Amino acid sequence: MKKKKQHRGRWAPFVLLVTVAVLVIAAIVAVSVLVFGGSKTAPESTTAATTTQTDATQSQTESTQPETTTAPETTTEPETTAATTKPATSANVTGNAAQGDVSVGSLVLVNADHLYSFPDVEKVHMTSDTGYTMAYDTLYMNKECYTAFQSMCADFSAKYPQGDLLVISGFRTYQRQKELFQNSVAKNGSYEAARKWTALPGASDHHTGYAFDFSLDYEGDGIYSWIRENCYRYGFVVRFEASKSAITGISNEPWHFRYVGVPHAYYMMQNNLCLEEYIDLLYDYPEDGQHLTFTYEDGTEYEVYYVKGTDLSDVKKPAGNYTISGNNIDGFIVTIAK
């Protein structure tokens, strides 16, 4: 018994030394993890979680909105760009053209040949009102256009209270148009086929804030023919007619309306002109030459002419009641009411 007791005592110091060494190493490892690993990984994990949640929410929002393969320039998804509120510096200048940009105003021509530069212009939030319902609560429109739109819908409702107008699209961003065009390519089978139905990003009339779409089943017939026949009195035209598709590059869209202002809508309607044809016509009426003149149905006389330039300072301001709009190409359109 005495021998065995001596044997255990001989190994005790060695066991104690090993135990202490293990505890020291474990302590060093724990401190290293706290100092070099803990503070770095926490923020990265939080950021990744936030990004994933945001992307998932956006993806869900986009995916729940139906697209269409037969709706050129049309979408039934909500727009999400907030309105800007930069005011015009002159009451005579439409759509904030006082910024000196030819891409500003109710007569800007936006298509595949003349892309939009997205100047800072005022847009307002569209809400359901007399005569019409908004499909989404995230649509925006140019303020001048929206005022005219509300008046037109209210007058239509007064005449046809049984009417049911549904607005599905207004101002559209470049990114949203890009997504719509990519979807159109996938659905229509080719780039060229998609172009017949959907404008290229940067080339959409919706970028201007002066355009809107009624629902895709809107054909402008029956009681709704009143809108087609009277929209010019509020400054609107049907932007894409079947008979003008070779010029506009977009197939028939009876639901797509574009605001150009009362006198111009009247003249275009009276002379069967699309916006491309009208802007081209105005080159024949330069500032230093003969001006286009006509009389509106209420007796107001209008004088319209083109001024070449890139900035509003290039335009000599006329006397009296006038407006100025860029054409999104190379100059401005001056309109004088007498």
pLDDT at 197: 82
In a domain, 45, yes or no: no
In a domain, 235, yes or no: yes
Identify whether 253 is a catalytic site residue.
Answer: yes
The whole-model pTM stands at 0.74
Given a contact cutoff of 8 angstroms between Cβ atoms, the answer to whether 304 and 292 are in contact is yes
In a domain, 324, yes or no: no
pLDDT at 101: 86
Assign residue 89 the CATH number of its domain: 3.30.1380.10
In a domain, 211, yes or no: yes
In a domain, 284, yes or no: no
d(CA 29, CA 40): 17
Tokens linked to 95: 């759509």
In a domain, 189, yes or no: yes
71 membership: H or E segment, kind and range:
none
Task: Please give the tally of structural domains in the chain.
Answer: 1
Catalytic site residue from 62, 253, 276, 287: 253
Given a contact cutoff of 8 angstroms between Cβ atoms, the answer to whether 200 and 180 are in contact is no
Per-residue pLDDT in tens (0 to 9) along the chain, 338 residues: 433 444 444 545 554 555 555 565 655 545 443 334 433 333 333 333 333 333 333 332 223 333 333 344 444 444 444 433 333 333 454 544 444 589 999 999 999 999 999 998 889 999 999 999 999 999 999 999 999 999 999 999 999 999 999 999 999 999 999 999 999 999 999 999 888 888 999 999 999 999 999 998 999 999 999 999 999 999 999 999 999 999 999 989 999 999 999 999 999 999 999 999 999 999 999 999 999 999 999 999 999 999 999 998 899 999 999 999 999 999 999 999 99
Helices 262-270/275-282 angle, 10° precision: 100
d(CA 44, CA 47): 5
pLDDT at 25: 60
Which residues have C-beta within 8 Å of that of residue 222, sequence separation ≥ 6?
Answer: none
Say how many C-beta atoms besides its own lie within 10 A of residue 142's C-beta.
Answer: 27
Domain that holds residue 220: 64-275
Of the candidates 142, 176, 178, the residue with the CA atom closest to the CA atom of residue 257:
142
Q: Which residues partner with 114 through β-bridges?
A: 111
d(CA 208, CA 280): 19
